[in-house]
Structure 1
């Protein structure tokens, strides 16, 4: 479906980074063997291919190079040391002079750009060619295993639009760090230099200031130490009859749902917009699954998890620009019948709110109870996770030709996660993306609309 225009590798300007390394912490290591993150931005661009090649292509290459000078880990390789060494070192991100990011420019004629950027159900497979893959592990001449951690693909739909697909190894960074990188790159592309980035106070903070017992690493490291050059990063595979869709909950609707919840269950202690949106969608997904698959099966018990940014919760707090992953899992585990029943929405909100409050208010701290929340997060119970966060507006990433018209988290295709972000129309609205089998998606949309209409028509 795509024609390759150019494949290149982009490095930071010569002699601006040199040899540097960044050890992975416990918060990074927990993601190391999990699938990568695939993001896709859609921009309207009613111009020709030649205009794109002459103007956009060189600007993106130049601005990316300057950005990598400040965000060098995106050009790093992930280094995993041999388990046969006497003193096994923890994995690290390592940069040597000339390290680079794979950047592909391509052209698409076969896909409908305007259909892809819509909210209605669309075939998941259509999006896969628009995001790049990460290279697989390989063995260095020094004997350790190396893996690239980031790649980019820019695709033009002539006279219609541009997509920018990004793939990163999750051990590289979390949503906050990734958003800061994107905002920096976009600013440099838009203004032609890094002056605004330098003045913004958002340059990465690289010091590894998180202190924690080595015993936590030992929970995570054993399977990582067996990783060798034969390890293949999980890849997107064709889906059979699976579609992705987007729903938008407006601020007015969310406020009404909150009001309704507190009438039904006045004892609810945590009713944020995020929890209300997640609880509503979780209950509708459970009801749609029961409708299509029946009440019995693998989903008799399930869990819903999200990650809370912990930078501000350390004592003392970490800088908001701390580079890497810095999050704690918040997990609710329950019976499907409680979520899919008539009180499913209120039960879901109560469970999620309790899970988040227990995490945030835990006086032991994020590290002292890590074994507990890790066990919940990585149990064998089927799970719905949350990708993204409305705290960092993905629709602010403007490279100079306008704000994105649509954003998709393509890595939802790896499992049953949903994405939650600020909406394109208003940052006060929430945009939820999900991928489901086509029949279940039809059921979900019907249930979602019915439940929302019923709740919004409630007379107080």
Structure 2
């Protein structure tokens, strides 16, 4: 990492909670955490305007970020400094994985300086994906011990752009927590940085809840330790010929899409902003593949995957500040010709809405079909997913430099997913991040904008 073009390392630091505050603590992984153990890391970036000198950054920002991160780790978010302890399935071992923190454990925090164009990187237009990779830190390597494997769970990089901006890049193992947990951690860190201590956050914030919840044993059998037999080093982002861009979906556009869906399907029970947006994106992406000559046979399958939040849907419900993962996959499969037709997005929205509604309204509860959740992944189909949720406003994370001017989900580059978040200007509008080869991006942009013009006109 020290020899990356356009990047100079200012400092490598290890940040621990204050001495003798966290000690030895462990947090067992639940069913919902274990499902993510073999997935790629999550990388995201926050860009902030910072028209100040390097000396101000080094003398003021760096020490304050170190101090505030240490306090945040103290008794609020100690798992971020810990490691996964994973026991391969040998000799019939059934020991569950856990996050373990011992005195002296730390988060890798890197400070760097970049010569890349801050305004270009923080824009909405197509930008080369590989320019973002130096801004997110590696997670670290798995280490094999005598009878278990350890794996770091979190790392941070803060990159200074001379007299223009700062980028905070974060990498975490998905089993550490979902988007809600990451968002809550960032809110706490920003609050502690701005106030210099945790008193304000502890008084007015929502500290994480670490209580674990029980999943019936029969549901856990499909996620036993045999899944971890091939536990591997986390993949790294590498050079790419793709570009990333962000598209805006205004409230007027969303309402226009809803109107189109309900005009054709007036009895549809579930037509939310989320489902019509996802249906629209699913159809646009499939059509962009067609434009690129990657058309599949009409009977071949397309698949859409979204994680449905379950905190409020369990019985009894979990608090929103519950620490960890708490979501289940909703997987919708349909023939290719349904999505590439004139009414493709309407059918996509219908299928996604029905899939979510069926999942959350099970008579036997949300976990009734939990042991069959992963069967859908085995279906041979082109898979497109969505990362994030507009319910979490990352543009509200203010360290004292003002709100972010751009939020990016860099880990989209591992898959065919798109990101969905609240818009910078209004939480009622959506920002959608995508990553494609340049020619496909051009095709997608035209399909996306033409469809929205039709939605507004209808």
Moved more, 358-367 or 274-283: 358-367
Contact 2:300 2:381 in 1 (8 A): no
Query: How many residue pairs align between the two structures?
Result: 452
Name the counterpart of 1:232.
Answer: 233
TM-fit CA distance, 1:331: 1.3
Equivalent in the alignment of 1:281: 281
* Partner Cα separation in structure 2 for residue 3 and residue 429 of structure 1: 37
C-alpha distance in 2 between matches for 1:170 and 1:273: 26
CA distance in 2 between counterparts of 1:284 and 1:204 reads 38
Deviations 1:24-77, CA, capped at 9 Å, x for gaps: 111001000010100011101111111100111111000000000110100010
Q: Given the alignment of the two structures, is residue 148 of structure 1 paired with residue 140 of structure 2, yes or no? A: no
Looking at structure 1, the residues matched to 298 and 25 of structure 2 have their Cα atoms a distance apart, in angstroms, of: 46
**Structure 1 residue 86: Cα displacement:** 4.9
Distance 2:191 2:429 in 1: 25
Selected match of 2:53 from 42, 48, 55: 48
Q: Contact between 2:219 and 2:370, CA under 8 Å: does it hold in 1?
A: no
Aligned pairs for 1:56-135 within 5 A: 56-69=61-74, 70-109=76-115, 111-135=116-140
Write the deviation string for residues 266-308 of structure 1: whole angstroms up to 9, x where unpaired.
1222111111111111111111111112432699311111111
SS state at 2:68 partner: helix
How far, CA to CA, are the matches of 2:434 and 2:370 in structure 1? 29
Counterpart of 1:31 in structure 2 is: 36
Per the alignment, residue 339 of structure 2 pairs with: 339
1:177 equivalent in structure 2: 181
Q: 1:261, CA displacement in angstroms?
A: 1.9
Structure 1's 87 and 449: CA in aligned 2 closer, same or farther, altered over 3 A? Answer: closer
The aligned counterpart of 1:213 is: 217
Alpha-carbon distance between aligned partners in 2 of 1:170 and 1:307, rounded to the nearest angstrom? 13
Aligned residues of 1:80 and 1:225 also touching (Cα < 8 A)? no
Contact conserved, 1:21 with 1:94, CA < 8 A, in 2? yes
Question: Which residue of 1 is the match for residue 165 of structure 2?
Answer: 161
Q: What is the alpha-carbon distance in structure 2 between the residues aligned to residue 402 and residue 210 of structure 1?
A: 41
The answer on 1:246 being equivalent to 2:252 is: no
The Cα shift of 1:226 comes to 4.1
User: In the TM superposition, what is the alpha-carbon distance from 1:378 to its structure 2 partner?
Assistant: 5.2
Q: CA deviation at 1:7?
A: 0.2
1:280–1:171 distance in 2 versus 1, CA, 3 Å: same
Inter-CA distance 105–334: structure 2 relative to 1 (3 Å threshold): same
How many angstroms apart in 2 are the aligned matches of 1:268 and 1:218? 34
Match of 1:390 in 2: 390
Deviation digits for residues 66-102 of structure 1 (CA, Å, limit 9, x no counterpart) = 0001101000100012433554311110000010000
Alpha-carbon distance in structure 2 between the residues aligned to 1:400 and 1:210: 40
Answer whether contact 2:31 2:215 (CA < 8 A) is retained: no
- In structure 2, do the counterparts of structure 1 residues 217 and 2 end up closer, same or farther at CA, with 3 Å as the change threshold? farther
SS at match of 1:99: coil
Structure 1-normalised TM-score?
A: 0.95
Tell me the distance in 2 between the aligned counterparts of 1:82 and 1:336. Answer: 40
